[in-house]
Amino acid sequence: MSLDTRVFGDPTSCYACADSLTALATGVNDRLKAARDGRTESEYEFRSPAGDAFRTTLDRIITGTTEAADQIDVIAAALRAFADGLVTVRSRMSQAEATAAEAGIPVEFGVGIGDPIDIDPNSYDIAPQVLRAKQIAAYETAAGLVANGRAVETGAHSALAEALRGPTTILKDAGAQWGGWFCTQSVGIWLRRFPSCRNGETWPRHAARTLLGCVSLPRKRRGWVIRTQKLLRPGLFGPSKGVRTMLHDSLRRTRDCLPGSVTTRSSDFLAAVSANISLKGPNWRISGRKFLSWVEF
């Protein structure tokens, strides 16, 4: 009976994805610090009912995003542990293949190990009998290594599933609560596509780079406070969620992640906020020093 030596997972991709998730969490934490600084400054610079509403909304976003960022780190750690397990599994399978090949058993490396040779039981030729005995011993050793590798692999998959159960629930709840907030969307999408990493594909590495590319905020530009930024993959992340509740000449709505940016003077922005303009979703970026530490007056 042949032995299956395939390993179901790509540790290299898993390590790369974990590193990218760690970088994503670091970037989110940097933005959170800026948001907290901006909230503190707004208490002195933006005193009005609209300012209070702004801080209330920002507090909810900060709380939810902090929790999501923590869960990103948990997922990255679980993914590294899973990759470590896969490395161990590959080592066991390689040892089994080498043991079998050395004894002359047919081996398709990375796929499976064949059976020992068959001999004529009525033959008086000693050499085939000696070879078969050698191959049977090697086969049994290889079978033990394969069984050990499979046990490690099963344990790694089970441990990963258990480690992701809590963070997945938290991130799904955060995604429902903060619908348009970037990091929860990003990790939610990654979780839905994660099986590709476990099956040996390399999509997560590319996906994590794509997600990181969406984190960057617009560059500072003195005197301008609102910018919209197109997401890299609008079909993946969905249309723009920027909305407004009143007409204003300098504040326009972005639809369907169309290219380009929308800007408005800081004085117009303050007037708009005072008139209860509602801004939500990842495409509205406050890019000054006073609000989220980027508004400049």
177 by Cβ neighbours in 10 Å (0-12 / 13-18 / 19+) ranks as middle
Work out the pLDDT band at 197, boundaries 50, 70, 90.
low
Question: Cβ(222)–Cβ(295) under 8 Å?
Answer: no
Does 296 or 201 have the greater pLDDT score? 201
pTM of the model: 0.56
| pLDDT > 50? residue 133 | yes
All structural domains of the chain with their residue ranges: 3-216, 218-297
Work out the pLDDT band at 30, boundaries 50, 70, 90.
confident
CA distance 4 to 111: 6
| pLDDT > 80? residue 196 | no
**In the predicted model, what is the mean pLDDT of the chain?**
66
Lowest pLDDT segment from 25-29, 86-90, 132-136, 211-215: 211-215
> What's the pLDDT score for residue 9?
86
Nearest to 80 by CA among 168, 197, 166: 197
Mean pLDDT value across residues 229-243: 33
> What's the pLDDT score for residue 245?
29
Question: Cβ(91)–Cβ(147) under 8 Å?
Answer: no
Does 140 or 167 have the greater pLDDT score? 140
Does 80 or 37 have the greater pLDDT score? 80
DSSP 205-247: HHHHHHHHHHHPPPPP-TTB-EE----S-HHHH-S-----SS-
